[in-house]
Amino acid sequence: MQVRVLGCSGAIAKGCRTTSFLVDSDLLVDAGTGVGDLTLDEMAAIDDVVLTHSHLDHIAALPLMLDAVGSRRTRPLRVHALRATIEALRAHVFNNVIWPDFESIPSLEAPFVTFHDIAVGQVLALGSREPKRIEVLPAVHTVPACGFAIRRADGGPHWVFSGDTERNAPFWERVNALDVAMLVIETAFSSREQVLAERSLHLSPAVLADELAQIEPGKRYPIYITHTKPAETEEIMSQIEVLAARQVAGLAERDIRWLKADGVLTF
C-alpha cells in the first residue's frame, strides 16, 4: 500500500497545498487543494473519498473534482463522512448556490456523487481494485471530526492519520492497540500561538509532546508532522527539535519528520 501526499499544509501559498492523500489509486483521504495536482485520469480512477471533517481546507477540491470528471465516470463517486460533515456539504456547498447539487446531476438515478454516513469506531471495507480496511478514529475539533487508520484488506500495519485535533486520549487508546506503520499528525501552530491553537482545537509543539507521550513504551514508528501553517513551518519544526533535544517526554528519541507534499509513503 502506498500513500501519495497531494497536500499537507494548513493554508495555501506557492508550493503549499491543503490536506489530501491518495491511497493507492482508488481512495482519497480528504479533498484539499492538493487534489488539483492529479490528472483527469487519476481523478476519474478514484472510487471513494473519506473526509475527516467539513472545513474548507479539507473539502475545497471535492466540488471541483466532481465537475472535472463526473461525466467521465461510469458510477457515482462515493463520499464517506460523519453525518454532520455530509449535512454541512449539502447545506453549504452542494446547494445550487455555491455549487450544483451533484447528488441529483445528471439525474437522481445516476448522480455524480453519493454520500455515505460513517461513525467513530466503524470499520469500512473499500476498494474493489485495491481492497483496504479503514477504521474511523476519534478527533477533537471545532466541528465534528475524525481520523483514520488504513491498511490493506488482507492484513499488515496501518497508516494512521489524526485529522485536525487537539488533546485526544481516546485516539491514543485505540492507536496503541493497532499495528502502526507510520503516524501523520497535525501541528498547526507554533508555541508562540499556543493560545490560538487551543481555541481552534489544533496542536502546538508542547501539546504535541504531551500527546505523543501517550504512545505505549516500546512502540516505534515514524511520525510525520502535517498541517503546519506555511508562515510558521520552520518555527514549528524548530520548536519540536528543541523540545526533543531537551528530552521532553513524548518527543525524546522519536523519529519525527516534516511531511512534504509530492512525497510517497510506502509500507
**Segment 204-220, tens digit of pLDDT:** 999 999 999 999 999 99
What pLDDT score does 129 carry?
Answer: 86
Instruction: Phi first, then psi: give them for residue 250, nearest 5 degrees.
Output: 100, -30
Do 162 and 139 meet the contact criterion of CB atoms below 8 Å apart? yes
Do 48 and 27 meet the contact criterion of CB atoms below 8 Å apart? yes
Do 180 and 158 meet the contact criterion of CB atoms below 8 Å apart? yes
Sheet containing 77-82: give its strands across: 113-118, 77-82, 48-50, 27-29, 20-23, 2-7, 264-266
| 113-118 vs 48-50, strand pairing mode | unpaired
List of domains in the chain = 2-266 (3.60.15.10)
What pLDDT score does 253 carry?
Answer: 85
What pLDDT score does 128 carry?
Answer: 79
From the list 186, 152, 155, 156, the residue with the least C-alpha distance to 27 is 152
Do 159 and 181 meet the contact criterion of CB atoms below 8 Å apart? yes
Q: Is the predicted pLDDT of residue 267 greater than 90, yes or no?
A: no
**Using one digit for the tens of pLDDT, what is the confidence trace for 2-38?**
999 999 999 999 999 999 999 999 999 999 999 999 9
pTM higher than 0.75: yes
**Using one digit for the tens of pLDDT, what is the confidence trace for 81-117?**
999 999 999 999 999 999 999 999 999 999 999 999 9
Do 85 and 79 meet the contact criterion of CB atoms below 8 Å apart? no
Please provide the average confidence, as pLDDT, over all residues in the chain: 96
Helix (H, G, I), strand (E, B) or coil at 176: coil
What pLDDT score does 60 carry?
Answer: 98
Mean pLDDT of 159-167: 98
**Which runs of consecutive H residues, i.e. helices, occur in the chain?**
40-44, 56-59, 61-69, 83-92, 169-175, 194-199, 205-212, 233-245
Mean pLDDT of 75-86: 98
What pLDDT score does 212 carry?
Answer: 97
Give me the percent of the chain exceeding a pLDDT of 90: 96
Mean pLDDT of 186-199: 96
**Using one digit for the tens of pLDDT, what is the confidence trace for 219-258?**
999 999 999 999 999 999 999 999 999 999 889 889 999 9
Mean pLDDT of 40-45: 97
Q: Is the predicted pLDDT of residue 52 greater than 90, yes or no?
A: yes
